[in-house]
Amino acid sequence: MEVVLQNLTKIFPSRNKNGSEVVAVNNFDFTIPDGKLIGLLGPSGCGKSTTLYMLSGLQKPTSGKIFFGSDDVTELTPENRGVGLVFQNYALYPHMTVKQNILFPLQNLKGEDKLSKEEMIKRAYDVAALVQIDDLMDRKPSELSGGQQQRVAIARALVKMPRILLLDEPLSNLDARLRLQTREEIKRIQRETLITTVFVTHDQEEAMSISDYIVVMKKGVVQQIGAPQDVYDSPINLFVAKFLGTPPINVFEGEVKDGALYIGEEKVLDTPNVENKKVFVGIRPEGFILDPNGPLSCNLNNIEVMGRDVSIVSSNTASVNPIVRSIVDADNKIAEGTEKVFFSIKPNKIFIFDHETEERIML
Amino acid sequence: MVESKQQWKAWVYLSPALILLLVFTVWPIFNTVRMSLLNGYRGLAAAGGQTFEFGFQNFVKVVQYRQFKDCLVTTLLLCVITVPVSSFLALLIAVCLNSIKPLRRLLQTIFFLPYVTNTIAIGMVFAAMFNIVGNIAGGDPNSTASSIATFGIVNNVIQLFGGKPINWINAGSTYWHNMFVVIFYIVWNALPFKILILLGGLQSVNKQYYEAAKVDGTSRTRVFFRITVPLLSPMIAYVVITGFIGGFKEYSSVVGILGEDMAATGSETPLNTMVGFIYDALENNNQGRASAAALILFGIILLVTLLNLYVSKKKVHY
């Protein structure tokens, strides 16, 4: 099911008379292709959960429209939209067994959709097998681990065969190991069912690793939409560049002067098409190459060995952050007692942004 | 030896409460058991130096009283009718209160008012409300013609809708009419505490259960019976159990409405309760009989509470 968001806006009125209203989502325009997994990504308070709740129908947009396929669902109540929603803390009914939880949405069906008992049980067991919890059907939620509860919640959302599946911070309640496992699991379930899925996360790694598309949001405004690798390789502004990637991108104060980019006094790049101005320079950690003749010099602080790679922690007076972190191949040896390191920079890993607007300046 | 020193201190800190408990709770319980087991025990006679034989005569006598059986039946009826009715009403009101936003605090306060008002005073107001003639003492008890002036609001309303005034509690009224008023009163009086408990429970229920149910298209009645009631089951069990205990101890409500005799003037069948029976025995200076009745009441309450707990173990979730 293709999902179209048209100028979707949500404004929360202020609580007191003098307070200002909050624009949670501002003019969201996006078409989610059929059968894809979409990650809504952004820091807390950016409007990603509000967008999800508007898709589910639990919250009404202030303006704009939502289409599922060709149906305008903007005015429809949640139950009439055919969405499956998985809550951040799962919201499994604690007094029901796993089986009863999964059966619950089916028992709500009325009229011609009504299923016979055997059909319900069959569908429940089918979906339980899909998420691999069919051996836990008679347990109560309190007797399950976090990961198992998560699966039950997904099964409950999937059992009524929703047109789209919505996941609110699906991994935030799991520990690190389970998180890795579960995110693969979500990807697998999505691939097997081919249900258009939207999930919300503030963890960029999570979003990048499983999404077909990511939507980066900030303060209610969509910053950039695209395939994870594309967004990473070509961030549209400084915010997106900083938000994606671990370790984060290194940002320097820089200046374009006479067709060249300077960091501090050092000329690091030829920029013949850019007019003279102050800029921010972003360099991905993997964009540095140790090179004795390289243009950028930094004071070496520390070297962290990580096996495959070496992380060089250094400092530069023009750097916005206190440290500059670069990741180079472990084959690079740095002699003990070295004080200054020199880098050359991979041209596709360096981005410059306008100092005022923080928008990307294409080279 | 720091530990034993602190233990000593702990006992000192506990002593005010312990002494009060010993004097006003433990000793009376012990004394009740003692008095109930002395055949025909009477306090005054005991003070005069008379001794009593040890035995179960008090219990046998109590059970043999016709009055006792009537009291037991009345009390049981009150419990069996008022507890479910008031619990269910309280649940409905709590759910409604929880689902509205404007004026919730005001309504909460209004619903809570009966709880902080004196039982006897309210009972008398109820008596006035259910009155039939302009003069409580006088009037012809057998004449219920609509021409008789009445200031009881209930009968006024009945008349307004063209009905005949009913003799609820005045001289010559029947046991069942009395019973109706008392039940009406007890239910109303029991509501605030139950609403408070259930509303507190409702407000601590995670809203996401309701959102999840909404997304799944659950009907309102189904949400109520499949989600709200099970999630509230611990509170409901509490309300029912304390309701039964309170019901068995019902006394002041009847006194407030029907007066100290716990019966309408001239009525052959008083609406006496178990506690009323105990008071009567005390008034007759028959402490042995009163103690035996009190212990029987205690046994009944214990039995019913155990039964309640047994049922709720099966029905109350988590």
Domain ranges of chain A: 3-243, 250-361
Write down the pLDDT at residue A109. Answer: 84
Instruction: Using CA coordinates, name the residue in chain B closest to A90.
Output: B208
Q: Is the pLDDT of residue B262 over 80?
A: no
Write down the pLDDT at residue B285. Answer: 86
Phi, psi dihedrals of residue A305, rounded to the nearest 5°: -90, 130
* Nearest CB partner across the interface for A108, out of B206, B217, B230: B217
Token match 């029976």: residue? B277
Q: Is the pLDDT of residue A221 over 50?
A: yes
Phi, psi dihedrals of residue A220, rounded to the nearest 5°: 85, -10
Strand arrangement, sheet containing A3-12 = A22-32, A3-12, A63-68, A71-72
Q: pLDDT class for B138, splitting at 50, 70, 90? A: very low
Pick the more confident residue, A241 or B45. A241
The interface predicted TM-score (ipTM) is: 0.78
Q: Is the pLDDT of residue B86 over 90?
A: yes
Using DSSP's 3-state secondary structure scheme, residue B317 falls into: coil
The fraction of chain A above a pLDDT of 70, given in percent, is 99
SS3 per-residue string spanning B27-94: HHHHHHHHHHCECCCCHHHHHCCCCCCECCHHHHHHHHCHHHHHHHHHHHHHHHHHHHHHHHHHHHHH
- Cα separation, A355 vs A280, in Å, equals 6
Q: pLDDT class for B248, splitting at 50, 70, 90? A: very high
pLDDT, one tens digit per residue, over A222-243 is: 999 999 999 999 999 999 999 9
Write down the pLDDT at residue B317. Answer: 66
Q: Is the pLDDT of residue A18 over 80?
A: no
Among A104, A113, A163, pick the best mutation site for testing chain B contact (most B Cβ within 10 A).
A104
Mean pLDDT across chain A: 89
Q: Which of B91, B111, B78 is nearest to B252 (CA)?
A: B78
Q: Is the pLDDT of residue A197 over 90?
A: yes
Write down the pLDDT at residue B146. Answer: 43
Q: Is the pLDDT of residue B124 over 70?
A: yes
Q: Which of A189, A187, A188 is nearest to A208 (CA)?
A: A187
Mean pLDDT of A271-293: 90
Q: Is the pLDDT of residue B145 over 50?
A: no
Write down the pLDDT at residue B150. Answer: 58
* Nearest CB partner across the interface for A58, out of B206, B215, B226: B215
Mean pLDDT across chain B: 85
pLDDT, one tens digit per residue, over A303-319 is: 888 888 889 999 998 89
Q: pLDDT class for B149, splitting at 50, 70, 90? A: low
Among A49, A52, A85, A92, pick the best mutation site for testing chain B contact (most B Cβ within 10 A).
A85
Nearest chain A CA: its distance from B101 CA (Å) = 14
AA letter at B41: Y
Q: At CB < 8 Å, which residues of chain A contact B? A: 56-58, 77-80, 83-85, 87, 89, 91, 93-96, 104-105, 107-109, 140, 142, 156, 160
Under an 8 A CB cutoff, do B214 and A109 touch?
A: no
Under an 8 A CB cutoff, do B217 and A109 touch?
A: yes
Q: Is the pLDDT of residue B5 over 80?
A: no
- Cα separation, A24 vs A17, in Å, equals 18
- Cα separation, B293 vs B155, in Å, equals 38
Least confident of A153-167, B142-156, B162-176: B142-156
Residue B219, CA atoms < 13 Å, CB-side half-sphere:
8
Q: To the nearest 10°, the Cα dihedral for A291, A292, A293, A295?
A: 70
Write down the pLDDT at residue B1. Answer: 52
Global pTM reads 0.76
Write down the pLDDT at residue A104. Answer: 93
Q: Which of B39, B34, B65, B70 is nearest to B52 (CA)?
A: B39
Task: Enumerate domains of chain B plus CATH numbers.
Answer: 64-130+168-315 (1.10.3720.10)
CATH architecture of A3-243: 3-Layer(aba) Sandwich (3.40)
Q: Which residues of B touch A114 (CB under 8 A)?
A: none
Q: pLDDT class for B136, splitting at 50, 70, 90? A: very low
Pick the more confident residue, B298 or A273. B298
Mean pLDDT of A200-228: 90
Under an 8 A CB cutoff, do A84 and B217 touch?
A: no
Q: Is the pLDDT of residue B140 over 60?
A: no
